[in-house]
Structures are given as C-alpha cells and as structure tokens.
Amino acid sequence: MARMILNETSYFGKGSIAEIVTEAKKRAFKKALVVTDKVLVKVGVTDKVTKLFDDAGLAYEVYDDVKENPAVSTVQNGVAAFKAAGADYIIAVGGGSPIDTAKAIAIIINNPEFADVVSLEGGAETKNKCVPIIAVPTTAGTAAEVTINYVITDEEKKRKFVCYDPHDIPIVSIIDSDMMASMPKTLAAATGMDALTHAIEGYITKGAWEMTDMFHLKAIEIIARSLRGAVNGDGDGQEGMALGQYIAGMGFSNVGLGIVHSMAHPLGALYDTPHGVANAILLPTIMEYNAESTGEKYREIAFAMGVNPCLAYNMSIEDVRVAAIDAVKQLASDVGIPAKLSDIGVKEEDLQFLAESAFADVCTGGNPKDTSVADILKLYKKIL
C-alpha cells in the first residue's frame, strides 16, 4: 500500500507572495506569529512579508531567534512566544530551519503533551492537527513547505532527530523565487544540492513507487539544468530551483530517504555543518555504495542529469552508474561544494560516534542497501 500526503494550497511564481494577504484574510485569521531568523530580518527578506501585513492592517508579532540546525530550546521559546503573542496561526519565513521550527511549535501548541520536543522524534502519534502554518521558503532546497518532516537538534546529546507527522504540513505554501533571490552563492549551492539529494535518495529508497518516481526524476532534471544558473544569480535558474526542490519534496516526503541524510544529520548536530553541504559531500560516495541495489535506476538518473541519452542508453549498467555519479560530482564541483569531510572540519576521532548516530537515524531504514555501523564508519573514513 502507498500513501500520498501533500499540502492544501501552493502558489508558484514571482510575485506570488502577495497571495499571503488573500489567504490570511479569507481564513479569518486574527494574529500571526512570524517565525524567521535574524539574518533574514537584517537583510530585509522578512520585511517583504511584514510590509504586506502592515499595508493590509493584519496583526502579527515576529519570533526571529531561529538559528541553523534549530535546537529543542528554540522550539520551546517559540511556543512561549506564540502564547504570549495571542497568535492563532504561524507564518514561517526562511529555509528549513525556520519552517521546521514553525512545524514543531505548531504541533506542540495543539498537542501540549509533547512540550519536551524530544518525544516528537520519529512518527509521534499526535492527536490534533497543528496550528495553521503558511510557509514562505527563502531557500531552494529543503522543501519543508510541502513535507511532513522536520528536524530538530538535541544539543544535550549532540544529535539531530527526525520527526514525521501528517499533522504538521503547512496549509499554504508560497513558492516565490523573488523571496529566494537574496541567497548568497554558497547558500544557493548548498540548498540546491540538498534538493538534488532529496530527489536522488527519494528515487532509490526502498519505499519508492511509480508516482514518486515521476516526481523525483522530474526534480533531478530541473535541478541539474537550473542549479548552476541559480548559484550565479540567473533568474530562470532561480525559478527552476524553486520549482525543482518543491517537486522533490512532494516525492520524498511520502517515501523517505536513505543514509546520505542519516550521515548528514549527525554532522549538523556535532559540527553545525550546513545540511546541504553535508549532503553534497556525501552523495557521490553513497551513490557508489548503493549502486548494486538500484537496478536500472541510475540509467534514468544519468538521463535526468543530462548525460547524452544515446550514450547512456547503450552503456552497460556498470558504466552508466559511473556516468550518473560523475554527473553529480561535476555539478557539486561546479557550484563550489568541498570534496572531503576534512574540508569542513570533521575529525577522525569523532567518526565512530558519527557512525553510531547515523545508523540510529530514522532515514537509515529507507536506504536501498541494508547497512551497518561498520559500513557507515567505512564510508565516513572514505570521504574524510
């Protein structure tokens, strides 16, 4: 049996942010808590939303204490801010961190028995749908606006934990590439490679099926042709990435991921590594590791990545797998992703802890090839 869960309403295209007022008014919301981060406030991105509310006379308060890899305390402080504001809905403005934080806050408000946050790990059996969320992504990568997933960091135990809950999905998402245009090159590259990882892992995960394959292959195609341009500020590339990352989210949210994400999560928890950078460094080597368990799927990945169809069609499966992996490596290199974990400060003495944490991650079960702590440790060492 397969299941598909998507958000109720999404708007796409430049200027679509204006629809946030329409949606807030027609739903008769009273006051928003705008969940964002201080950088987005400083550079004026959050203002693009709050000015619309000011002009329309809609009430809101801003909670901007979200940091990359948001912690349990970030969520708990956000719950307190929501209550203090007297809010009845949330507007999440940002990348994965603000949107993930908003999801956790919104779930806890309507399911207060999970106020410790850590009990939300995995598929917590919440009883009530979360407080309404309108999600406005400012990066083209996480697809948090369309997924049932969110990730929180337990700072005490130096680990990230993944939560998946159909009750947390935003009711409205606004995919406006103008809201993403201020991303620095490094962030555009990292979040874009995160989106590619979502698409590739979602395509080869154990739970993949025809409908999600359709989403993932199209997402790979769009990302492969758009990411280089987006990183260099090209408008068409940015528009393509806004769409491609969303389509990838439609797929992987419903079938899961694999050990690229399992191995990336503890890197973020221990070193505060940007999630997309960790994924991008890990992806080619993990693709090599998983290749024998993917049948003909790497041939389709090669096509979608732009490998010459005539060549790819006539290659042996071994050769086309290499071609697909090489295309991913080339894209990562072209957008400035480091090649090794040591380039981002990973230390050999931490690898055993990282491997154990990765093996325990909820994403591990979806990997197409069954794995072990020992296998994951070898992979970390190979990429170090």
* pLDDT surpassing 90 at residue 310: no
User: Per-domain residue ranges for the chain?
Assistant: 9-180, 186-383
For residue 163, name the pLDDT band (cuts at 50, 70, 90): very high
In the chain, the percentage of residues whose pLDDT exceeds 90 is: 93
CATH topology of domain 186-383: Dehydroquinate synthase-like, alpha domain (1.20.1090)
Per residue in 323-347, pLDDT (tens digit) is 999 999 999 999 999 999 999 999 9
Structure tokens at 250: 């439609």
Average pLDDT over residues 349-357: 97
Are β-strands 149-154 and 159-164 bridged in parallel, bridged antiparallel, or unpaired? Answer: antiparallel
pTM of the model: 0.94
C-alpha pair distances (Å), 152 with each of 102, 229, 249, 268, 350: 11, 31, 18, 10, 21
For residue 312, name the pLDDT band (cuts at 50, 70, 90): confident
C-alpha pair distances (Å), 202 with each of 40, 251, 281, 301: 30, 7, 18, 12
* pLDDT surpassing 90 at residue 296: yes
Per residue in 121-147, pLDDT (tens digit) is 999 999 999 999 999 999 999 999 999
Model pLDDT, residue 264: 97
Model pLDDT, residue 3: 87
Average pLDDT over residues 18-22: 97
* pLDDT surpassing 90 at residue 22: yes
Model pLDDT, residue 378: 98
Between CA 34 and CA 59 the distance in angstroms is 10
* pLDDT surpassing 90 at residue 117: yes
Model pLDDT, residue 315: 93
Average pLDDT over residues 370-381: 98
| HEC secondary structure over the chain | CCCCCCCCEEEECCCHHHHHHHHHHHCCCCEEEEECEHHHHHCCHHHHHHHHHHHHCCEEEEECECCCCCEHHHHHHHHHHHHHHCCCEEEEEECHHHHHHHHHHHHHHHCHHHCCCHHHCECCCCCCCCCCEEEEECCCCCCCCCCCEEEEEECCCCEEEEEECHHHCCCEEEECHHHHCCCCHHHHHHHHHHHHHHHHHHHHCCCCCHHHHHHHHHHHHHHHHHHHHHHCCCHHHHHHHHHHHHHHHHHHHHHCCCHHHHHHHHHHHHHCCCHHHHHHHHHHHHHHHHHHHCCCHHHHHHHHCCCCHHHHHHCCHHHHHHHHHHHHHHHHHHCCCCCCHHHHCCCHHHHHHHHHHHHHCHHHHHCCCCCCHHHHHHHHHHHC
For residue 182, name the pLDDT band (cuts at 50, 70, 90): confident
For residue 68, name the pLDDT band (cuts at 50, 70, 90): confident
CATH topology of domain 9-180: Rossmann fold (3.40.50)
* pLDDT surpassing 90 at residue 214: yes
For residue 352, name the pLDDT band (cuts at 50, 70, 90): very high
**Phi and psi based region of residue 31 (left: phi greater than 0; alpha: psi -120 to 50; beta: remaining):** beta
Per residue in 101-112, pLDDT (tens digit) is 999 999 999 999
CA diameter of the chain: 64
Scored b (16 or more CB within 10 A) or e, 128-164 reads ebbbbbbbbbbbbbbbbbbbbbbbbbeeeeebbbbbb
Matching fold, domains 9-180 and 186-383: no
Per residue in 73-109, pLDDT (tens digit) is 999 999 999 999 999 999 999 999 999 999 999 999 9
